Structure 1
């Protein structure tokens, strides 16, 4: 009886915890009816453009994650603090087109006079359990207080390392507009956002921030879900387009033909940030490895590439610096420049030459100024 009582208590505790607002809300009502009309939704879930098994092995998902957490690893976390620079985001000239990497897949962007946040995670962990998935030492430089008023908040999908409940709550007074994939608005509605400011978009829809600055919501190859129910909201990438520049953010994505299609339709891109970390052969369909990211950059006709989804959290068993080492090697002789700033260092998009060290190797290489492909030094 004692064992049964403990089991019941455990189940009740889990059910109770799952009511916490951090888990968000599933689409229902008119939102769900709208989702069901999407050509990218079938049989109750969103679908990728090509067949995408979550796992490439017969290993059960539970076994896979237990092996990832407790199995043999190299060095998934750095031995000390990660080099970083805290740029004053509020002091940046809003007339300048600039990108600042905030770690992992979080970016602050200034484009055409608009200030844009992409997938901000200011919490010191990226999981619904506070002790889980802690950020690397030295990488938690920014909070919502450090961010100026934001014209648009872009969220690629609803996983915890991209949609962070405490961050979203703290940013609420500063955000003018939210742009997300279909279904993700259910979380924002549950978290008290004014839904007149939240735009849910399908793949290939366009949202105009101003007559000059547009956000193209693009396909990605991934999945979604904050609990055990998956693929109820859409995962997306973003192309940010102004008369002067074109930027691209892949979100989480496996390699697929959509990169070439986007490159032909919306490219060439002045700068792209591509998923190049947290890869593993067991989930090779939903995250690119660095070599695939290098190819995707060429598919997109990118002039400059910055690797994303690395440098702050460890979600896969690979060494923490493996993405940066491999993308450096894979980018040799490519048609684009590789830009690898430290967290917080601005990337200027005005064509100037910029120096980015191999900071994961204590600045031992890549110290020469680097121009985007086809640019001229100013």
Structure 2
């Protein structure tokens, strides 16, 4: 029974415990908003209760080995506040999952901050993260910008936001999420909500929300009440793409036309399954998205931190590495907490074998 509850909690995370009815008429003229809900423009993703139960059953009966790493398998480079303050410009750190810390033009930018041990409204039965954090929120310096890509629990973590809110300059997020951030205690004046193709500028840093093929929700009754997005982060010297969660779609080519080429593309590669490939890329699709985006270096994210699918925990990086080698693609997969440059390729260890 406890295991079933864990699976159901995972389902809440993946299927998106609050209800937020979006009553704003300002969205009605948007191409990707219909009947009070946001929607994808290239596919209509639907997941009914029977298919959800089918996936739960597969999750329970799946006998894939190595779904969870053994304790202390994943290496973590522990950091202090001094390490962060001494980061060179145009560098970054992967903290966990899709939580990335950038230093650009002497400003700190944090994506989808998740510092909790469990990512669910039911922490008493949820699976734990696979590894320690390289740094705690308390040790972080002032963060100039936080980007929230969408409101799923593994990207919008309420406890983390509540701890971070007083040491953050601005929150950039998608349509509809402002209310949730305010509910978490964030000052409304700090929040910039963006539609696809809209930008906010913070001195020398320009943040643009770009399309993604996904969905939103934090419970059973708020599906697609808020928007989801991928992101372009541009500074004086760097141009970065952050996919957040998305299935493969033709939109990558349009993003590249408008905002490319990119120095580094941080692309989803993990928590995938053929049953939901429309909203989470399979590894070969991650490679294709990278090619579409006209980027220099591929950085796979959304893996190695939580059990959110049925594949072995290290499968995403194994497959991505093999496919990239075949196509002569430069891939960066540093340890959690390892500081790497954005403008030059630094070969990183095969730490997951």
TM-score > 0.5 by shorter chain: yes
Answer with 1 or 2: which has the greater Rg: 1
1:112-151 mapped onto 2 (5 Å cutoff): 112-151=105-144
Distance 1:216 1:328 in 2: 29
Distance 1:339 1:284 in 2: 24
Quick check: 1:206–1:217 contact (8 Å CA) kept in 2?
yes
Distance 2:241 2:277 in 1: 22
Query: SS state of the match for residue 337, structure 1?
Result: coil
Q: 2:351 aligns with which of 335, 359, 365?
A: 359
Question: Can you list the C-alpha shifts for 1:3-55, whole angstroms capped at 9, x where unaligned?
Answer: xxxxxxxxxxxxxxxxxxxx4561545xx223334332111210112113245
Count, aligned residues: 335
Quick check: 1:275–1:288 contact (8 Å CA) kept in 2?
yes
TM (norm. structure 2) is 0.89
TM (norm. structure 1) is 0.84
Quick check: 2:38–2:226 contact (8 Å CA) kept in 1?
yes
Distance 1:325 1:54 in 2: 30
Distance 2:327 2:124 in 1: 41
Gap change, CA 1:218 and 1:335, over 3 Å in 2: farther
Q: Do structure 1's residue 253 and structure 2's residue 246 form an aligned pair? A: yes
Q: 2:202 aligns with which of 205, 209, 225?
A: 209
Query: SS state of the match for residue 99, structure 1?
Result: strand
1:1-378 mapped onto 2 (5 Å cutoff): 23=17, 26-28=20-22, 32-55=24-47, 59-69=50-60, 71-81=62-72, 82-92=74-84, 93=86, 96-210=89-203, 212-229=204-221, 230-334=223-327, 336-351=329-344, 353-361=345-353
Which one has more relative contact order, counting CA pairs under 8 Å at least 6 apart? 2
Gap change, CA 1:218 and 1:187, over 3 Å in 2: same
Quick check: 1:153–1:175 contact (8 Å CA) kept in 2?
yes
Any stretches of 5+ residues in structure 1 without a counterpart?
1-22, 362-378
Any stretches of 5+ residues in structure 2 without a counterpart?
1-16
Quick check: 1:133–1:314 contact (8 Å CA) kept in 2?
no
